[in-house]
């Protein structure tokens, strides 16, 4: 699909009124300017068997974005080795400008010639969405979340190396990076489509103005205008009580119907990918990323019966401060962009049609269970001793 057609399709999805489905919007299968998912002719549903989702290229990839965890000296050598390897393969390497501001990198004279070949950008200022063919992350799970935040529409395929602390979302070991990166460039890899949440925060603002960063203005009531900001969220949206000592008191709507009022420290709305992050720490179940769903998890609810729930991916959730709330609340998106929620504000959450195509080490199923075992030590227990026939059963 050409870039013009791809942009046209995006315009139809955002401007039109798509048919509602409990499976949510059908995700795009083109990622960046050149990558797409290899179609399976035997697939019955529009959601393919996770084990059959394969990456392929419409054209050979020529550009790569390298994301490195900031302020981590242990990543400097892997970063340099990878960049040298990519430039030797005649790849156009994109690097964020603040990464190159590291004094150790600037002081390395042997690396200066490689830096001259880089294309640099600045977050929130430069648009690289149509320039990057795939992404390589060096660090922990936070680097994948950061990569997701850079692309508010179609996301290029992401390859994540485990060079951080936890590494639940980073399946690749850097020791064999040359063969693994070469394999990706050749288009031989399994991918998992990690769904994201499309979040719109609408707030009342008396002196609002149009902004170049995407603030959408609508006419409000007599108290002032309203502005709306849109976010693509990979893990979770967290609404909490912030610095206040009172319980948070927020109303939760599902498809326009009030389903409950959250009274507690807050509420987490997460994707299946985010179910193994903050949500699982708050008592939620872990959901495989290929399951089309949205999870709602209360944070320390003042109720013995408020348990986490899973709703279909196609629903629309809305969160607002209750009219009788004693204080405001605060919201964050994947742990970033933290801001206050006041009376009259609302947050609308739906499943995005722009997932993050994460490249697998083996396949979506084996990688997930391997992460559960290695990172979270899921169901680790000392084995029960074998009972011989001579021993008494009682």
Q: Do residues 282 and 357 lie in contact, with contact meaning Cβ atoms separated by under 8 Å? A: no
CA distances, 141 to each of 67, 162, 272 (Å): 12, 8, 15
| Locus of tokens 């103005």 | 209
Residue of 102, 133, 141, 367 marked active site: 141
Q: What is the DSSP string of 327-375?
A: S-EEEEETTEEEEEE-TT-EEEEEE-S--EEEEPSS-HHHHHHHHHHHH
**Order of all β-strands in the sheet with 92-96:** 30-31, 35-38, 54-57, 189-194, 356-359, 158-162, 134-139, 63-68, 92-96, 119-121
> Does residue 141 have an active-site annotation?
yes
Q: DSSP states of 6-29 as a string?
A: HHHHHHHHHHS-PPP-TT-SPPP-
Q: Which of 2, 15, 22, 5 is nearest to 316 (CA)?
A: 22
The C-alpha angle with vertex 38 and arms to 286 and 163, in degrees rounded to 5, equals: 50
User: C-alpha angle with apex 163: 53 to 281, nearest 5 degrees?
Assistant: 75
Q: Which helix (H) or strand (E) holds 199?
A: strand 197-205
Local structure of residue 124 (DSSP, 8 states): T
**E-assigned strands of 50-149?**
54-57, 63-68, 92-96, 119-121, 134-139
E strand or H helix that includes residue 179: helix 177-185
Phi then psi dihedrals of residue 8, to 5 deg: -65, -40
Active site (catalytic) residues: 141
């Amino acid at each position: 699909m050409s870039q013009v057609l791809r942009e046209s399709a995006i315009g139809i999805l955002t401007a039109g009124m798509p048919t509602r489905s409990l499976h949510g919007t059908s995700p795009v299968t083109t990622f960046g300017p050149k990558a797409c998912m290899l179609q399976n002719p035997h697939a019955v549903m529009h959601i393919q068997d996770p084990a059959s989702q394969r990456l392929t290229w419409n054209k050979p990839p020529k550009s790569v974005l390298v994301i490195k965890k900031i302020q981590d000296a242990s990543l400097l050598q892997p970063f340099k080795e990878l960049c040298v390897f990519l430039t030797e393969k005649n790849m156009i390497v994109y690097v964020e400008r603040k990464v190159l501001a590291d004094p150790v990198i600037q002081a390395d004279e042997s690396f200066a010639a490689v830096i001259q070949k880089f294309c640099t950008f600045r977050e929130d200022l430069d648009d690289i969405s149509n320039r990057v063919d795939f992404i390589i992350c060096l660090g922990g799970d936070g680097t994948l979340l950061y990569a997701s935040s850079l692309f508010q529409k179609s996301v290029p395929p992401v390859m994540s190396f485990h060079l951080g602390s936890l590494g639940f979302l980073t399946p690749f070991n850097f020791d064999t990076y040359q063969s693994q990166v070469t394999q990706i460039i050749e288009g031989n890899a399994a991918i998992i489509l990690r769904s994201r949440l499309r979040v719109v925060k609408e707030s009342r603002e008396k002196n609002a103005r149009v902004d170049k960063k995407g603030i959408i203005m609508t006419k409000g009531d007599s108290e002032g205008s309203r502005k709306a900001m849109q976010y693509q969220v990979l893990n979770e949206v967290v609404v909490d009580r912030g610095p206040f000592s009172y319980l948070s008191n927020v109303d939760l709507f599902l498809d326009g119907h009030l389903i409950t009022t959250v009274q507690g420290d807050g509420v987490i709305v997460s994707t299946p990918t985010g179910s193994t992050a903050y949500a699982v720490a708050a008592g939620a179940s872990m959901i495989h990323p290929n399951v089309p769903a949205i999870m709602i998890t209360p944070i320390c609810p003042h109720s013995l019966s408020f348990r986490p729930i899973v709703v279909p991916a196609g629903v629309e959730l809305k969160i607002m401060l209750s009219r009788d709330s004693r204080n405001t609340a605060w919201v964050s998106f994947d742990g970033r962009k933290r801001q206050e929620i006041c009376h009259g504000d609302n947050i609308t959450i739906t499943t995005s049609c722009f997932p993050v195509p994460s490249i697998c080490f083996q396949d979506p199923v084996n990688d997930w269970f391997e992460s559960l075992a290695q990172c979270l030590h899921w169901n680790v227990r000392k084995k029960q001793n074998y009972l011989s026939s001579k021993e008494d059963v009682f």
